[in-house]
Chain A
Amino acid sequence: MKQAYVGVVVLFVVGLLTSGMFLLLSHLASAYRPSVVKAMPYESGIDPLGDTRERYSVKFYIVAMLFIVFDIETIFFLPWAVIFRDLGLFGLIEMFIFVFVLAVGLAYAWKKGALEWD
């Protein structure tokens, strides 16, 4: 049982080591010369105007939320797709119910105009 997970652990560790190595090498080879101007936000060379902590329209949130929901739905498809044959008819009907529930949500969002930008 544990044997199956060794691969995942190795992948995780190698990933950490590789990215750690990149960061370490960059840090060693870099010439770190901070300054106030360098840290300022880049706005095509001009001083930025005003504060960035401003409220903005809720439609950005709505797009992001819809994306997350349907993205997670897609993720749930993946393990199901792997063992699809073993689950048989039961698994298929189960998945259709799942998709149907989310489709109702999509239809609601569509009708409410959440997919329109303006």
Chain B
Amino acid sequence: MSDDRKRLPTVNVAGGDVDTGPPASWMITKVDAVVNWSRRNSLWPMPLGTACCAIEMMATAGSKYDIARFGAERFSFSPRQADLMIVAGRVTYKMAPILRRIWDQMPQPKWCISMGACASSGGMFDNYTIVQGIDQIIPVDVYVPGCPPRPESLLYALMMVQEKIKGESLANPVHREESPDAAGKPNLPPEAIELVAQPFGNSTRQNRISGVEGSSAISRPRDRRERLLEHQD
């Protein structure tokens, strides 16, 4: 394996490629199902909205696109009561420690959507002041492309987070790992940041560095159906 891969543990419980300890009994999977169902259908977003994407996020909360259908209408501006941080907009180096502090202050379980091109990779601003991708600062679960992404894209991202939650398990909480000394530190090591900072670094390396590429996590709703159809043969 080349050194520049950052291996994020990936869980694909349905595909059976992870060791969940003793044979998962019916009881534990049912508890998982209930817990995951309740978590994913009542995600309370914390909108860390900075710029134009925040306006699209507000539009998603409005009556036409209605994020309330997904149980996510209660936007919590306090991190203590939020599950899902939506970073909507460009993040400057001045804002980065605040972003990190607020992420650290969110209690587990927590997920993160990086909404828009600027949050995902710095967008059209490759300059002295914009963080070139918030995954350098905090771990991200779903990246939404767009400048700004349409409200439908944000809803799809929310659905992808919901799919991710489906694959979680109380017995093996790999996604809930959070070391106390990681608080306040960047999410990626300096070498990874430098690799992404090279010309076209975002488009050639970010997938690998952020762990998206090569992960077998079923994260798109359509994938699950396709997988199930495959297994049926």
Q: Is the CB of B98 within 8 A of A40?
A: no
Q: Is the CB of B183 within 8 A of A38?
A: yes
Provided the pairs A38-B183, A40-B105, A45-B98 are in contact, do residues A33 and B35 lie with their beta carbons within 8 angstroms? no
Residues of chain A contacted by B183 (CB below 8 angstroms): 35-38
User: Interface size for chain B: under 10, 10 to 19, 20 to 34, or 35 or more residues?
Assistant: 20 to 34
Residues of chain A contacted by B109 (CB below 8 angstroms): 30-31
B102, CB-defined interface residue at 8 Å: yes
**CA distance in complex: A35, B173 (Å):** 18
A22, CB-defined interface residue at 8 Å: no
Provided the pairs A29-B170, A42-B78, A42-B80 are in contact, do residues A35 and B180 lie with their beta carbons within 8 angstroms? yes
Select which of B79, B97, B180 is within 8 A of A36 by beta carbon.
Answer: B180
B227, CB-defined interface residue at 8 Å: no
Main secondary structure of the interface of B (DSSP, over half): helix
Select which of B35, B98, B101 is within 8 A of A29 by beta carbon.
Answer: B35
Q: How many residues of A contact B (CB 8 A)?
A: 16
Q: Mark B71-111, 1 if CB is under 8 A from A, else 0.
A: 00000001110000000000000000111011011011100
Select which of B79, B180, B181 is within 8 A of A42 by beta carbon.
Answer: B79
Main secondary structure of the interface of A (DSSP, over half): loop
Q: Mark B174-196, 1 if CB is under 8 A from A, else 0.
A: 00111011011000000000000
**CA distance in complex: A39, B104 (Å):** 9
**Which of chain B's residues has its CB closest to A28's CB?**
B170
Select which of B97, B98, B108 is within 8 A of A33 by beta carbon.
Answer: B108
**Which of chain A's residues has its CB closest to B170's CB?**
A29
Provided the pairs A35-B180, A36-B180 are in contact, do residues A46 and B105 lie with their beta carbons within 8 angstroms? no
Q: Is the CB of B108 within 8 A of A32?
A: yes
Q: Is the CB of B108 within 8 A of A46?
A: no
Supply 10 further A-B pairs (C-beta < 8 A) apart from A30-B109, A44-B98.
A28-B170, A30-B108, A31-B109, A31-B178, A33-B107, A35-B104, A36-B180, A40-B105, A42-B80, A42-B105
**Subset of 21 A-B contacts with CB under 8 Å:** A28-B170, A30-B109, A31-B109, A31-B173, A31-B176, A33-B176, A33-B178, A33-B180, A34-B180, A35-B178, A35-B180, A35-B183, A37-B101, A37-B104, A37-B183, A37-B184, A38-B104, A38-B107, A42-B78, A45-B97, A45-B102
Chain B residues near A (Cβ < 8 Å): 35, 78-80, 97-99, 101-102, 104-105, 107-109, 170, 173, 176-178, 180-181, 183-184
